[in-house]
Amino acid sequence: MQQSLYFLGIGGTLMGSLALLAKEMGYKVSGSDNAIYPPMSDQLAAAEIEVFEGFSPDQLDPIPDKIIVGNANLPRGNAAVEYVLDKGLPYTSGAEWLGTTVLQNRWVLAVAGTHGKTTTASLLAWILEYAGLKPGFLIGGAPANFDVSARLGETPFFVVEADEYDTSYFDRRSKFVHYKPRTLILNNLEFDHADIFSDIGAIQDQFHLLMRTVPSEGLVVAPVSSEHINEVLNRGCWTPVSRIGQKVSKNEFDLDNGDTWTVANAEADGSIFDVVLNEKTQGRVSWSLIGEHNINNALNAITAARHAGIATDICIRALGEFKGVKRRLEVIFENENTVIYDDFAHHPTAIRTTLQGLRKQVGNDEILAVIEPRTHTMSLGTLSNDLCTCCAAADQVIWFRGENIKWDLGEIINRCVVPAQMADNVPNLVKDIVEGTPKKSERKRHVVIMSNGSFGGIYQLLLEALAPISEAEQ
């Protein structure tokens, strides 16, 4: 008899992807969430998964064999959580279900870190696919080389984006401790998620729990220059470590037992570079991505893929055919005078590196950054000092004050290193952006919309407002 699963929080990137995997495995799948929007809503609809907005007990009649509980907006006191507990219904967390049901007996390649997880996981999955390994994967975004963000695959290899956010209201460990990787990428490590972590040490505790699950015959991929990651490694490491980048840190990991990967002869914008392994050039990458951060993402993916048995030259060729990830500096509109980008900015460092990479690509063109500091950490004002300087590569910035902002954005406006203003109404913001569209005689304008949410529908509103201008120019 077909077993049934119900996903609480199905609109999230993890939970929606888990629902796709469950459907592929033959389960009867349904679920609910407060709000569900693209790209996950489109993928769930394509998979013919029944989805409800809001929660009603009727959705759990008949009672499913298992309820998979997400962690976003599902604390004690939530109506759905309380109903499940009051009725004694069978439940588990999404991360635990993934670890015990999908990842058992797989060669798990996990990508962890504060930044770059989605892009690096997408790169790694694509390299494995390009090499003919047909991997499974679960990615917290929409990689353009694939039609879905998650699939089971046809070989033991499984790429997973390994998030440090806590598992659920009843399991406060990071989700990634359930994944037990054989190949582990540690992209970087900074303070984030101020709603659940008190300081960087609390995050490092979770990263070291993850380190403890990697077998001695596995591989850890880590940057040389991250002091916070080196501190985690020095707490205890039982696995060979391959290093990414030049040796510049004063607090390097004590044990030197693996390869070192660097780059040479890189173009300023990061679109072309040589891959160097242990001081020997392996080949030259020419690809569509930009920025030093994406060069590091590429080296991480190459190193992990090589651990899975893929030759470096094949990895390099695969990167040349990588199409990027939706909402990672994704061009959503372009004409002769204006380019509009959608970027999933979630942290000041991500904002900084993205804008720096774009600046190196576009030269003296105008860059307008439109930023919604929507994540828990940014909305609480925890990183306000960094927010003042992270947009230095732009010509100007508009900060959007959403309803969840808990602090006065005025201090950012006053201290920002580039001309800055504040907005709190999306239609008016769209009007201001459109009215600032340059004439043909003026320098080209690049508008980067930076948010990890739907931003009040600004993307569609902008496209609709700019369409008549483009038609008039034709």
Q: What is the pTM of this model?
A: 0.88
Give all strands of the β-sheet with 91-93 in edge-to-edge order: 50-53, 28-33, 4-8, 66-69, 91-93
Q: Nearest CA to 322 among 157, 143, 139?
A: 143
Expressed in percent and rounded to 5, the helix, strand and coil fractions of the chain are 35, 25, 45
> For residue 438, how many other CB atoms are within 10 A of its CB?
14
C-alpha 172/C-alpha 258 separation (Å) is 33
Confidence at residue 195, expressed as pLDDT on a 0 to 100 scale: 75
**Assigned token pair, 394:** 């732009």
- Which residue blocks in 167-291 are alpha helix, DSSP H? 200-211, 227-234
Confidence at residue 381, expressed as pLDDT on a 0 to 100 scale: 59
Q: What is the pLDDT along the chain (474 residues), one digit of tens a residue?
A: 789 999 999 998 889 999 999 999 999 999 999 988 777 888 899 999 999 999 999 999 999 999 999 987 899 999 999 999 999 999 999 999 999 999 999 999 999 999 899 999 999 999 999 999 999 999 988 899 999 899 999 999 999 999 998 999 999 999 999 999 999 999 999 887 767 788 999 999 999 999 999 999 999 999 998 999 999 999 999 999 999 997 654 445 555 568 999 999 999 999 999 999 999 999 999 999 999 999 999 999 999 999 999 999 999 999 999 999 988 899 999 988 899 999 988 788 889 989 999 999 999 999 999 999 876 656 565 677 788 899 999 999 999 988 777 677 788 888 899 999 999 999 999 999 998 877 776 889 999 999 987 888 899 999 999 887 655 555
Give all strands of the β-sheet with 338-343 in edge-to-edge order: 330-334, 338-343, 445-450, 366-371, 396-400, 420-423
Confidence at residue 198, expressed as pLDDT on a 0 to 100 scale: 84
Confidence at residue 474, expressed as pLDDT on a 0 to 100 scale: 54
C-alpha 215/C-alpha 240 separation (Å) is 10
**Assigned token pair, 325:** 């990830």
**All domains of the chain in start order, with CATH:** 4-95 (3.40.50.720), 103-319 (3.40.1190.10), 330-473 (3.90.190.20)
| Phi and psi at residue 342, to the nearest 5° | -110, 120
**Assigned token pair, 255:** 């044990």
> For residue 19, how many other CB atoms are within 10 A of its CB?
29
